Amino acid sequence: MSCGDLPVSNFIDLQKKLECLREDLLIDRECLSFLLITRKEAYHCKRYCRIC
C-alpha cells in the first residue's frame, strides 16, 4: 500500500501518513543516487523505488 492510500480519519492517522511519506522520500533519494552508478543498480532501483 502506498502512502497516498493511507486513510486519514484522525490526528494519529495523519502522523502515520506523514511518517510514511518521509520514508518514501528517503528511499527515493537513495534510489536517485543508485541511478548514477551502474545499470544493474538502476534496475534494482526501479524495482524498489517509486520515483525511478
Residue 25 has pLDDT above 50, yes or no: yes
* Residue 52: predicted pLDDT: 42
Question: What are the Cα distances from residue 49, in Å, to 9, 13, 17, 23?
Answer: 27, 23, 18, 11
Residue 40 has pLDDT above 60, yes or no: no
* Residue 13: predicted pLDDT: 76
Contact (Cβ atoms closer than 8 angstroms) between residue 20 and residue 3: yes
Q: How many domains does the chain have?
A: 1
Q: Is residue 27 part of a domain?
A: yes
Q: Is residue 34 part of a domain?
A: yes
Domain limits for position 24: 11-48
For 48, phi and psi rounded to 5 degrees?
A: -110, -10
Give tens-digit pLDDT for 8-23. Answer: 677 777 777 677 766 6
* Residue 11: predicted pLDDT: 75
